[in-house]
A and B are shown apart, each in its own frame.
Chain A
Amino acid sequence: MSQYIRVWALLLFTWLPFESAGAESLELGKLVFLEKAEPPCSLCHTLKSAGSTGEIGPNLDELKPDEERVSNAVKNGVGTMPPYDEMLSEAEIAAVASYVAEAVLRENGR
Protein backbone atom coordinates (compact mmCIF):
# COMPACT_ATOMS: atom_id res chain seq x y z
CA MET A 1 0.00 0.00 0.00
CA SER A 2 2.78 2.37 0.94
CA GLN A 3 4.22 1.87 -2.52
CA TYR A 4 1.01 3.23 -4.08
CA ILE A 5 1.14 6.32 -1.89
CA ARG A 6 4.73 6.86 -2.97
CA VAL A 7 3.76 6.48 -6.59
CA TRP A 8 0.93 8.98 -6.45
CA ALA A 9 3.06 11.43 -4.51
CA LEU A 10 5.63 11.23 -7.26
CA LEU A 11 3.00 11.66 -9.95
CA LEU A 12 1.51 14.69 -8.23
CA PHE A 13 4.93 16.21 -7.74
CA THR A 14 5.92 15.74 -11.36
CA TRP A 15 2.60 17.06 -12.64
CA LEU A 16 3.09 20.45 -11.06
CA PRO A 17 5.55 21.91 -13.60
CA PHE A 18 3.05 21.25 -16.36
CA GLU A 19 0.22 22.89 -14.48
CA SER A 20 2.38 25.94 -13.99
CA ALA A 21 3.82 26.04 -17.52
CA GLY A 22 1.22 28.62 -18.44
CA ALA A 23 -1.40 28.10 -21.11
CA GLU A 24 -0.81 31.59 -22.51
CA SER A 25 2.90 30.97 -22.93
CA LEU A 26 2.22 27.67 -24.68
CA GLU A 27 -0.25 29.40 -27.01
CA LEU A 28 2.38 32.02 -27.81
CA GLY A 29 4.92 29.26 -28.36
CA LYS A 30 2.64 27.57 -30.87
CA LEU A 31 2.06 30.86 -32.66
CA VAL A 32 5.81 31.46 -32.90
CA PHE A 33 6.28 27.91 -34.19
CA LEU A 34 3.63 28.22 -36.88
CA GLU A 35 3.71 31.90 -37.85
CA LYS A 36 5.81 34.43 -35.98
CA ALA A 37 9.24 33.06 -36.78
CA GLU A 38 10.32 33.82 -40.35
CA PRO A 39 10.79 31.33 -41.86
CA PRO A 40 8.45 29.54 -39.44
CA CYS A 41 9.72 26.49 -37.55
CA SER A 42 6.86 24.46 -39.10
CA LEU A 43 8.30 24.93 -42.59
CA CYS A 44 11.28 22.72 -41.80
CA HIS A 45 10.25 20.64 -38.79
CA THR A 46 7.66 17.94 -38.19
CA LEU A 47 5.82 18.38 -34.90
CA LYS A 48 2.60 16.42 -34.48
CA SER A 49 1.20 18.77 -31.88
CA ALA A 50 1.43 21.72 -34.30
CA GLY A 51 0.28 19.66 -37.28
CA SER A 52 3.50 20.47 -39.14
CA THR A 53 5.17 18.06 -41.53
CA GLY A 54 8.35 19.92 -42.61
CA GLU A 55 11.17 17.61 -43.61
CA ILE A 56 14.18 19.91 -43.93
CA GLY A 57 15.29 19.86 -40.31
CA PRO A 58 15.03 17.07 -37.74
CA ASN A 59 11.63 15.61 -36.90
CA LEU A 60 11.09 17.07 -33.43
CA ASP A 61 8.82 14.22 -32.33
CA GLU A 62 11.78 11.90 -32.91
CA LEU A 63 14.55 14.21 -31.70
CA LYS A 64 12.63 15.03 -28.49
CA PRO A 65 14.70 18.08 -27.55
CA ASP A 66 14.37 19.54 -24.09
CA GLU A 67 13.58 23.20 -23.49
CA GLU A 68 17.22 24.27 -23.24
CA ARG A 69 18.15 22.53 -26.45
CA VAL A 70 15.31 24.19 -28.37
CA SER A 71 16.17 27.56 -26.88
CA ASN A 72 19.85 27.20 -27.84
CA ALA A 73 18.98 26.14 -31.37
CA VAL A 74 16.54 29.02 -31.89
CA LYS A 75 18.96 31.59 -30.48
CA ASN A 76 22.11 30.37 -32.21
CA GLY A 77 21.03 28.29 -35.16
CA VAL A 78 22.27 24.77 -35.92
CA GLY A 79 23.93 23.87 -39.22
CA THR A 80 21.77 25.46 -41.90
CA MET A 81 19.15 26.56 -39.38
CA PRO A 82 19.48 30.34 -38.99
CA PRO A 83 19.65 32.07 -35.61
CA TYR A 84 16.37 33.77 -34.65
CA ASP A 85 17.65 35.92 -31.81
CA GLU A 86 17.22 39.18 -33.71
CA MET A 87 13.76 38.36 -35.00
CA LEU A 88 12.17 36.95 -31.88
CA SER A 89 12.03 38.43 -28.41
CA GLU A 90 13.43 36.55 -25.44
CA ALA A 91 9.88 35.87 -24.29
CA GLU A 92 8.98 34.45 -27.69
CA ILE A 93 12.07 32.22 -27.74
CA ALA A 94 11.29 31.01 -24.22
CA ALA A 95 7.68 30.38 -25.24
CA VAL A 96 8.51 28.37 -28.35
CA ALA A 97 11.12 26.38 -26.41
CA SER A 98 8.67 25.41 -23.68
CA TYR A 99 5.95 24.73 -26.24
CA VAL A 100 8.11 22.36 -28.31
CA ALA A 101 9.59 20.59 -25.27
CA GLU A 102 6.13 20.15 -23.74
CA ALA A 103 4.55 19.07 -27.02
CA VAL A 104 7.10 16.35 -27.80
CA LEU A 105 6.90 15.03 -24.27
CA ARG A 106 3.11 14.99 -24.32
CA GLU A 107 2.91 13.31 -27.71
CA ASN A 108 5.83 10.95 -27.54
CA GLY A 109 7.15 10.56 -24.02
CA ARG A 110 10.85 10.46 -23.39
Chain B
Amino acid sequence: MNQLQLPRRHFLIAAGSAGMATALSDTLNIPSAFAQEPKPLPPYAAWKNADAMIVHSNNTLETKREFFGTSGITPEDELYIRNNVPAPDESIIADRDAWEVEIEGVRNPGKKTLADLKKLGLETTAMVLQCSGNGRGFHKHKASGTPWTVGAAGNVIWSGVPLREVVKAMGGLADGRNFITGTGGEELPKNIDPKTIMVERSVPISALDDALLAWEVNGKPISLAHGGPLRLVFPGYYGVNNVKYIKKLAFTEKESDATIQRTGYRVRPPGQKGSPDQPSMWEMTVKSWVTHPLKETDQGPVLIYGVAFGGNRSVKSVAVSTDDGNTWQEARLVGPDLGKYAWRTFVLAADLKPGTHIIASRATDVAGNTQPEEFAENERGYGHNGWRAHAVAVTVV
Protein backbone atom coordinates (compact mmCIF):
# COMPACT_ATOMS: atom_id res chain seq x y z
CA MET B 1 0.00 0.00 0.00
CA ASN B 2 1.43 3.29 -1.04
CA GLN B 3 -0.88 5.68 0.72
CA LEU B 4 -0.25 9.34 1.33
CA GLN B 5 -1.41 10.51 4.70
CA LEU B 6 -3.29 13.80 4.57
CA PRO B 7 -5.41 15.37 7.28
CA ARG B 8 -8.90 14.31 6.21
CA ARG B 9 -10.36 17.79 6.43
CA HIS B 10 -7.77 19.38 4.16
CA PHE B 11 -7.97 16.50 1.79
CA LEU B 12 -11.71 16.82 1.45
CA ILE B 13 -11.64 20.57 0.97
CA ALA B 14 -9.12 20.16 -1.76
CA ALA B 15 -10.99 17.43 -3.55
CA GLY B 16 -13.59 19.80 -4.87
CA SER B 17 -15.75 17.52 -6.95
CA ALA B 18 -16.82 13.91 -7.05
CA GLY B 19 -14.98 13.31 -10.30
CA MET B 20 -11.81 14.84 -8.99
CA ALA B 21 -12.32 12.99 -5.74
CA THR B 22 -12.34 9.72 -7.61
CA ALA B 23 -9.19 10.66 -9.46
CA LEU B 24 -7.50 11.57 -6.20
CA SER B 25 -8.76 8.47 -4.51
CA ASP B 26 -7.35 6.33 -7.30
CA THR B 27 -4.05 8.18 -7.19
CA LEU B 28 -3.75 8.01 -3.44
CA ASN B 29 -5.14 4.52 -3.17
CA ILE B 30 -7.47 5.51 -0.38
CA PRO B 31 -10.28 3.03 -0.75
CA SER B 32 -12.73 4.35 1.77
CA ALA B 33 -12.22 8.11 1.76
CA PHE B 34 -15.12 8.75 -0.57
CA ALA B 35 -17.15 5.62 -0.24
CA GLN B 36 -20.72 6.67 0.48
CA GLU B 37 -21.61 5.08 3.77
CA PRO B 38 -25.29 4.17 3.75
CA LYS B 39 -27.16 6.58 6.02
CA PRO B 40 -28.70 4.92 9.08
CA LEU B 41 -32.47 4.72 9.49
CA PRO B 42 -33.83 7.77 11.33
CA PRO B 43 -35.09 7.03 14.88
CA TYR B 44 -38.80 7.26 13.99
CA ALA B 45 -38.27 4.61 11.30
CA ALA B 46 -35.69 2.49 13.13
CA TRP B 47 -38.02 -0.52 12.91
CA LYS B 48 -37.75 -0.62 9.11
CA ASN B 49 -35.79 -3.33 7.30
CA ALA B 50 -32.56 -1.40 6.76
CA ASP B 51 -31.40 -3.79 4.02
CA ALA B 52 -34.46 -2.95 1.93
CA MET B 53 -34.21 0.82 2.19
CA ILE B 54 -32.18 3.61 0.58
CA VAL B 55 -32.05 6.44 3.12
CA HIS B 56 -31.86 9.65 1.08
CA SER B 57 -32.51 11.82 4.16
CA ASN B 58 -34.38 11.46 7.44
CA ASN B 59 -37.63 12.26 5.66
CA THR B 60 -37.05 10.42 2.38
CA LEU B 61 -36.55 6.63 2.39
CA GLU B 62 -36.83 4.56 -0.79
CA THR B 63 -37.54 0.84 -1.21
CA LYS B 64 -34.82 -0.93 -3.17
CA ARG B 65 -36.04 -2.24 -6.52
CA GLU B 66 -35.12 -5.85 -5.74
CA PHE B 67 -37.26 -5.85 -2.58
CA PHE B 68 -40.76 -5.57 -4.07
CA GLY B 69 -41.33 -9.33 -4.08
CA THR B 70 -44.12 -11.10 -5.95
CA SER B 71 -46.98 -11.42 -3.47
CA GLY B 72 -48.46 -8.02 -4.32
CA ILE B 73 -48.31 -6.39 -0.90
CA THR B 74 -45.54 -4.14 0.39
CA PRO B 75 -44.80 -4.78 4.07
CA GLU B 76 -44.90 -1.60 6.14
CA ASP B 77 -41.30 -2.12 7.20
CA GLU B 78 -40.20 -1.95 3.56
CA LEU B 79 -42.55 0.83 2.45
CA TYR B 80 -41.04 4.13 1.31
CA ILE B 81 -41.34 7.28 3.41
CA ARG B 82 -41.66 10.84 2.21
CA ASN B 83 -42.47 13.27 4.99
CA ASN B 84 -42.68 16.87 3.87
CA VAL B 85 -42.01 18.02 7.41
CA PRO B 86 -40.78 15.84 10.27
CA ALA B 87 -43.15 13.37 11.91
CA PRO B 88 -44.76 14.58 15.16
CA ASP B 89 -43.71 13.23 18.53
CA GLU B 90 -44.42 9.58 19.22
CA SER B 91 -46.74 10.59 22.05
CA ILE B 92 -49.54 11.11 19.48
CA ILE B 93 -49.87 7.35 19.06
CA ALA B 94 -49.84 6.57 22.80
CA ASP B 95 -53.64 6.79 22.97
CA ARG B 96 -54.79 6.36 19.38
CA ASP B 97 -58.52 6.38 20.04
CA ALA B 98 -58.25 9.81 21.68
CA TRP B 99 -56.89 11.44 18.48
CA GLU B 100 -59.24 14.20 17.35
CA VAL B 101 -59.95 15.44 13.87
CA GLU B 102 -61.87 18.62 13.23
CA ILE B 103 -64.40 18.32 10.42
CA GLU B 104 -65.71 21.36 8.55
CA GLY B 105 -67.82 21.98 5.48
CA VAL B 106 -70.59 19.61 6.55
CA ARG B 107 -74.01 20.64 7.86
CA ASN B 108 -73.11 19.68 11.44
CA PRO B 109 -69.39 20.43 11.76
CA GLY B 110 -67.40 19.40 14.80
CA LYS B 111 -64.68 17.21 16.21
CA LYS B 112 -64.57 13.45 16.03
CA THR B 113 -62.22 11.21 17.95
CA LEU B 114 -60.77 8.12 16.37
CA ALA B 115 -63.00 6.12 18.73
CA ASP B 116 -66.05 7.97 17.30
CA LEU B 117 -64.93 7.31 13.74
CA LYS B 118 -64.53 3.59 14.38
CA LYS B 119 -68.29 3.40 15.01
CA LEU B 120 -69.30 5.06 11.75
CA GLY B 121 -68.26 2.48 9.19
CA LEU B 122 -65.51 0.24 7.88
CA GLU B 123 -63.93 -0.22 4.48
CA THR B 124 -60.72 -1.92 3.37
CA THR B 125 -58.94 -0.79 0.22
CA ALA B 126 -55.76 -2.03 -1.44
CA MET B 127 -53.96 0.73 -3.28
CA VAL B 128 -50.70 1.89 -4.67
CA LEU B 129 -49.16 4.61 -2.57
CA GLN B 130 -46.72 6.50 -4.73
CA CYS B 131 -44.78 9.73 -4.30
CA SER B 132 -45.35 12.33 -7.02
CA GLY B 133 -41.61 12.38 -7.64
CA ASN B 134 -41.18 8.63 -8.07
CA GLY B 135 -38.99 8.35 -11.17
CA ARG B 136 -37.49 11.82 -10.75
CA GLY B 137 -34.06 10.23 -10.96
CA PHE B 138 -34.83 9.28 -14.58
CA HIS B 139 -35.41 12.87 -15.66
CA LYS B 140 -32.61 14.24 -17.78
CA HIS B 141 -32.64 17.72 -16.25
CA LYS B 142 -31.57 18.10 -12.65
CA ALA B 143 -35.00 18.52 -11.07
CA SER B 144 -34.89 19.61 -7.45
CA GLY B 145 -36.01 17.04 -4.90
CA THR B 146 -35.13 13.47 -4.04
CA PRO B 147 -33.89 11.51 -7.10
CA TRP B 148 -36.17 8.52 -6.56
CA THR B 149 -36.08 5.83 -9.25
CA VAL B 150 -38.87 3.27 -8.67
CA GLY B 151 -38.90 2.79 -4.91
CA ALA B 152 -41.06 5.71 -3.77
CA ALA B 153 -44.07 3.44 -4.15
CA GLY B 154 -45.70 0.44 -2.55
CA ASN B 155 -48.97 -1.47 -2.55
CA VAL B 156 -50.71 -1.50 0.82
CA ILE B 157 -54.11 -2.26 2.33
CA TRP B 158 -55.75 0.47 4.37
CA SER B 159 -58.66 0.02 6.74
CA GLY B 160 -60.81 2.83 8.02
CA VAL B 161 -64.10 4.60 7.73
CA PRO B 162 -65.32 5.71 4.30
CA LEU B 163 -65.33 9.49 4.14
CA ARG B 164 -68.84 9.42 2.68
CA GLU B 165 -70.08 7.73 5.89
CA VAL B 166 -68.51 10.48 7.98
CA VAL B 167 -70.21 13.11 5.82
CA LYS B 168 -73.53 11.32 6.14
CA ALA B 169 -73.22 11.14 9.92
CA MET B 170 -72.55 14.87 10.04
CA GLY B 171 -75.62 15.92 8.12
CA GLY B 172 -74.24 15.85 4.59
CA LEU B 173 -72.07 18.32 2.70
CA ALA B 174 -72.63 22.04 3.10
CA ASP B 175 -73.56 23.79 -0.15
CA GLY B 176 -70.97 24.57 -2.81
CA ARG B 177 -68.21 22.24 -1.66
CA ASN B 178 -65.82 21.50 -4.52
CA PHE B 179 -62.74 20.18 -2.73
CA ILE B 180 -61.70 17.93 0.13
CA THR B 181 -58.93 19.62 2.08
CA GLY B 182 -56.84 17.75 4.63
CA THR B 183 -54.43 19.34 7.11
CA GLY B 184 -51.63 17.40 8.79
CA GLY B 185 -50.95 17.52 12.52
CA GLU B 186 -47.23 18.21 12.28
CA GLU B 187 -45.74 20.77 14.63
CA LEU B 188 -44.40 23.82 12.84
CA PRO B 189 -42.02 26.50 14.12
CA LYS B 190 -43.94 29.37 15.75
CA ASN B 191 -42.16 32.24 14.01
CA ILE B 192 -43.32 31.41 10.53
CA ASP B 193 -46.54 31.84 8.58
CA PRO B 194 -47.92 28.28 8.82
CA LYS B 195 -49.28 28.43 5.26
CA THR B 196 -45.68 28.56 4.04
CA ILE B 197 -44.70 25.06 5.06
CA MET B 198 -47.80 23.29 6.39
CA VAL B 199 -48.97 20.05 4.81
CA GLU B 200 -52.45 20.95 3.60
CA ARG B 201 -53.71 19.42 0.38
CA SER B 202 -56.96 19.72 -1.54
CA VAL B 203 -58.37 17.19 -4.00
CA PRO B 204 -61.56 17.43 -6.10
CA ILE B 205 -64.79 16.43 -4.33
CA SER B 206 -65.13 13.58 -6.86
CA ALA B 207 -62.59 11.69 -4.73
CA LEU B 208 -65.14 11.47 -1.90
CA ASP B 209 -66.67 8.13 -2.88
CA ASP B 210 -63.55 6.02 -2.36
CA ALA B 211 -61.72 8.10 0.27
CA LEU B 212 -61.02 6.76 3.76
CA LEU B 213 -59.98 8.00 7.14
CA ALA B 214 -57.66 5.07 7.83
CA TRP B 215 -56.25 3.78 11.11
CA GLU B 216 -54.86 0.47 9.96
CA VAL B 217 -52.40 -0.58 7.25
CA ASN B 218 -51.71 -4.19 6.26
CA GLY B 219 -53.57 -5.39 9.34
CA LYS B 220 -51.82 -3.25 11.95
CA PRO B 221 -52.40 0.20 13.43
CA ILE B 222 -50.62 2.71 11.16
CA SER B 223 -47.12 3.53 12.41
CA LEU B 224 -46.18 7.10 13.21
CA ALA B 225 -43.87 7.12 10.20
CA HIS B 226 -46.76 6.35 7.86
CA GLY B 227 -49.29 8.75 9.33
CA GLY B 228 -50.73 7.07 12.41
CA PRO B 229 -52.91 7.34 14.33
CA LEU B 230 -55.13 8.56 11.46
CA ARG B 231 -54.44 9.16 7.79
CA LEU B 232 -56.58 10.60 5.03
CA VAL B 233 -56.43 8.20 2.10
CA PHE B 234 -57.41 8.89 -1.51
CA PRO B 235 -57.05 5.71 -3.58
CA GLY B 236 -55.65 6.46 -7.04
CA TYR B 237 -54.12 9.77 -5.95
CA TYR B 238 -50.43 10.55 -5.51
CA GLY B 239 -48.94 10.15 -2.03
CA VAL B 240 -48.84 13.82 -1.01
CA ASN B 241 -52.64 14.02 -1.03
CA ASN B 242 -52.88 11.25 1.55
CA VAL B 243 -52.35 13.56 4.51
CA LYS B 244 -50.74 11.99 7.58
CA TYR B 245 -51.74 12.71 11.19
CA ILE B 246 -54.92 14.21 9.80
CA LYS B 247 -55.95 16.97 12.18
CA LYS B 248 -58.45 18.88 10.13
CA LEU B 249 -60.69 17.70 7.32
CA ALA B 250 -62.59 20.41 5.50
CA PHE B 251 -64.97 20.28 2.56
CA THR B 252 -64.13 23.56 0.90
CA GLU B 253 -65.26 25.76 -1.95
CA LYS B 254 -61.71 26.44 -3.09
CA GLU B 255 -58.35 24.72 -3.00
CA SER B 256 -56.11 25.41 -0.02
CA ASP B 257 -53.93 28.51 -0.27
CA ALA B 258 -51.03 26.77 1.49
CA THR B 259 -47.84 26.89 -0.57
CA ILE B 260 -47.76 23.09 -0.97
CA GLN B 261 -51.10 23.33 -2.83
CA ARG B 262 -50.90 26.74 -4.46
CA THR B 263 -47.52 26.45 -6.19
CA GLY B 264 -46.17 23.11 -4.94
CA TYR B 265 -46.84 19.83 -6.75
CA ARG B 266 -47.72 21.63 -10.00
CA VAL B 267 -46.73 20.21 -13.37
CA ARG B 268 -45.09 22.65 -15.78
CA PRO B 269 -42.31 22.66 -18.37
CA PRO B 270 -38.71 22.98 -17.12
CA GLY B 271 -37.81 26.54 -16.21
CA GLN B 272 -41.36 27.63 -15.40
CA LYS B 273 -42.56 28.66 -11.96
CA GLY B 274 -45.26 26.83 -10.04
CA SER B 275 -48.70 28.38 -10.27
CA PRO B 276 -52.29 27.46 -9.27
CA ASP B 277 -53.42 27.30 -12.91
CA GLN B 278 -51.11 24.35 -13.67
CA PRO B 279 -52.19 20.70 -13.20
CA SER B 280 -51.88 19.54 -9.60
CA MET B 281 -50.42 16.13 -8.73
CA TRP B 282 -53.71 14.37 -8.16
CA GLU B 283 -54.65 11.19 -10.03
CA MET B 284 -51.91 8.69 -10.86
CA THR B 285 -51.30 7.25 -14.31
CA VAL B 286 -50.54 3.79 -15.70
CA LYS B 287 -47.08 2.50 -14.84
CA SER B 288 -44.97 -0.63 -14.40
CA TRP B 289 -41.42 -1.74 -13.78
CA VAL B 290 -39.46 -4.95 -13.81
CA THR B 291 -38.16 -6.14 -10.43
CA HIS B 292 -36.37 -9.30 -11.59
CA PRO B 293 -33.87 -9.89 -13.09
CA LEU B 294 -32.14 -6.55 -12.59
CA LYS B 295 -28.43 -6.91 -13.27
CA GLU B 296 -27.21 -10.38 -14.10
CA THR B 297 -28.74 -13.79 -14.73
CA ASP B 298 -27.76 -17.19 -16.11
CA GLN B 299 -28.50 -18.01 -19.74
CA GLY B 300 -31.53 -20.14 -20.46
CA PRO B 301 -34.98 -20.03 -18.92
CA VAL B 302 -35.68 -17.07 -16.65
CA LEU B 303 -38.86 -15.66 -15.15
CA ILE B 304 -39.10 -11.92 -15.69
CA TYR B 305 -41.40 -10.30 -13.21
CA GLY B 306 -42.40 -6.92 -11.87
CA VAL B 307 -45.33 -4.77 -10.78
CA ALA B 308 -47.94 -2.86 -12.79
CA PHE B 309 -50.83 -0.57 -11.94
CA GLY B 310 -53.28 1.72 -13.64
CA GLY B 311 -53.28 4.58 -11.12
CA ASN B 312 -56.89 5.64 -10.80
CA ARG B 313 -58.23 2.70 -12.84
CA SER B 314 -57.39 -0.99 -13.23
CA VAL B 315 -54.37 -2.16 -15.13
CA LYS B 316 -55.47 -4.34 -18.04
CA SER B 317 -52.30 -5.86 -19.47
CA VAL B 318 -48.52 -5.73 -19.39
CA ALA B 319 -46.16 -6.34 -22.29
CA VAL B 320 -42.50 -7.23 -21.73
CA SER B 321 -39.58 -6.77 -24.11
CA THR B 322 -36.14 -8.36 -23.78
CA ASP B 323 -34.67 -6.65 -26.85
CA ASP B 324 -34.81 -2.93 -26.09
CA GLY B 325 -38.41 -2.53 -27.15
CA ASN B 326 -38.15 -4.07 -30.62
CA THR B 327 -40.52 -6.94 -29.85
CA TRP B 328 -43.05 -7.35 -27.04
CA GLN B 329 -44.81 -10.32 -25.45
CA GLU B 330 -47.81 -10.19 -23.17
CA ALA B 331 -47.01 -11.08 -19.57
CA ARG B 332 -49.36 -12.95 -17.24
CA LEU B 333 -50.88 -11.15 -14.26
CA VAL B 334 -50.27 -13.16 -11.10
CA GLY B 335 -52.11 -13.48 -7.81
CA PRO B 336 -55.39 -12.07 -6.56
CA ASP B 337 -56.90 -8.95 -8.11
CA LEU B 338 -57.04 -6.60 -5.13
CA GLY B 339 -59.12 -4.00 -6.93
CA LYS B 340 -58.59 -1.20 -9.37
CA TYR B 341 -56.29 0.85 -7.17
CA ALA B 342 -53.86 -1.99 -6.37
CA TRP B 343 -50.90 -3.16 -8.36
CA ARG B 344 -50.57 -6.58 -9.95
CA THR B 345 -47.49 -8.72 -10.20
CA PHE B 346 -46.74 -9.71 -13.78
CA VAL B 347 -44.55 -12.55 -15.03
CA LEU B 348 -43.15 -13.64 -18.38
CA ALA B 349 -41.14 -16.81 -19.00
CA ALA B 350 -38.21 -16.05 -21.29
CA ASP B 351 -35.20 -17.86 -22.66
CA LEU B 352 -32.21 -15.53 -22.72
CA LYS B 353 -28.99 -15.98 -24.66
CA PRO B 354 -25.65 -14.67 -23.36
CA GLY B 355 -25.10 -10.95 -23.80
CA THR B 356 -26.74 -7.76 -22.60
CA HIS B 357 -30.49 -7.57 -22.76
CA ILE B 358 -32.52 -4.39 -22.27
CA ILE B 359 -35.61 -5.63 -20.44
CA ALA B 360 -38.62 -3.32 -20.38
CA SER B 361 -42.25 -3.51 -19.31
CA ARG B 362 -45.15 -1.51 -20.71
CA ALA B 363 -48.55 -1.50 -19.00
CA THR B 364 -51.96 -0.58 -20.41
CA ASP B 365 -54.97 0.38 -18.28
CA VAL B 366 -58.62 -0.54 -18.88
CA ALA B 367 -59.25 2.78 -20.61
CA GLY B 368 -56.56 1.98 -23.17
CA ASN B 369 -53.86 4.30 -21.85
CA THR B 370 -50.40 2.82 -22.39
CA GLN B 371 -47.11 3.90 -20.86
CA PRO B 372 -45.27 6.12 -23.36
CA GLU B 373 -41.77 5.26 -24.49
CA GLU B 374 -40.46 8.69 -23.53
CA PHE B 375 -41.89 10.96 -20.86
CA ALA B 376 -41.99 14.71 -21.36
CA GLU B 377 -39.71 16.48 -18.89
CA ASN B 378 -41.33 18.72 -16.30
CA GLU B 379 -39.72 21.19 -13.95
CA ARG B 380 -40.10 19.25 -10.72
CA GLY B 381 -39.70 15.76 -12.17
CA TYR B 382 -43.18 14.54 -11.33
CA GLY B 383 -45.14 11.55 -12.61
CA HIS B 384 -42.55 9.81 -14.81
CA ASN B 385 -44.09 6.72 -16.42
CA GLY B 386 -42.01 6.37 -19.60
CA TRP B 387 -41.13 2.70 -20.15
CA ARG B 388 -37.70 3.27 -21.65
CA ALA B 389 -36.29 4.99 -18.57
CA HIS B 390 -37.65 2.23 -16.34
CA ALA B 391 -36.01 -0.55 -18.41
CA VAL B 392 -33.02 -2.46 -17.03
CA ALA B 393 -29.85 -3.66 -18.73
CA VAL B 394 -29.31 -7.29 -17.72
CA THR B 395 -26.11 -9.20 -18.40
CA VAL B 396 -26.79 -12.82 -19.27
CA VAL B 397 -23.83 -15.14 -18.68
Interface residue ranges, A against B (CB under 8 Å): 3-4, 6-7, 10-11, 13-15, 17-18, 39, 43-44, 54-59, 62-63, 68-69, 72-73, 76-83, 85, 105-106, 108-110
Contacts and interface: CB of A to CB of B under 8 A. Distances in A.
Contacts of A6: 27
Interface string B187-201: 011011100111100
18 contacts: A7-B24, A7-B27, A7-B28, A10-B20, A14-B20, A15-B14, A43-B191, A55-B86, A56-B85, A56-B188, A56-B197, A58-B60, A62-B57, A68-B142, A79-B260, A80-B196, A82-B259, A110-B12
A79 B264 contact: yes
Interface in B54-72: 57-60
Contact of A80 (B8, B27, B34, B85): B85
Contacts of B24: 7, 10-11, 14
Contact of B379 (A59, A76, A106): A76
B367 interface: no
Given A63-B57, A77-B259, A18 B13 contact: yes
A7 B380 CA distance: 40
Contacts of B188: 56
A11 B6 CA distance: 11
B338 to A, nearest CB: 29
A73 B240 CA distance: 18
Given A59-B57, A80-B260, A7 B197 contact: no
A67 B20 CA distance: 16
A75 B216 CA distance: 38
Given A18-B13, A43-B192, 9 more contacts: A4-B4, A15-B14, A44-B189, A55-B86, A79-B84, A79-B264, A80-B85, A80-B196, A106-B13
A18 B16 contact: yes
A18 to B, nearest CB: 7
A56 B57 contact: no
A65 B204 CA distance: 36
A108 B34 CA distance: 11
A56 B189 contact: yes
A57 B60 CA distance: 11
Contact of B34 (A58, A106, A110): A110
A21 B198 CA distance: 35
B59 A58 contact: yes
Contacts of B18: 110
B262 to A, nearest CB: 9
A15 B14 CA distance: 5
B243 to A, nearest CB: 12
Contacts of A10: 20, 23-24, 27
Contacts of B197: 39, 44, 56, 80-82
Given A7-B27, A110-B15, A77 B264 contact: yes
The 6 A-B pairs at the shortest CB distance, nearest first, are namely A109-B12, A72-B144, A14-B16, A58-B57, A80-B84, A80-B197
Contacts of A85: 273
B263 A82 contact: yes
B105 interface: no
A1 to B, nearest CB: 12
Given A7-B28, A82-B197, A72 B12 contact: no
A56 B144 CA distance: 17
Contacts of B121: none
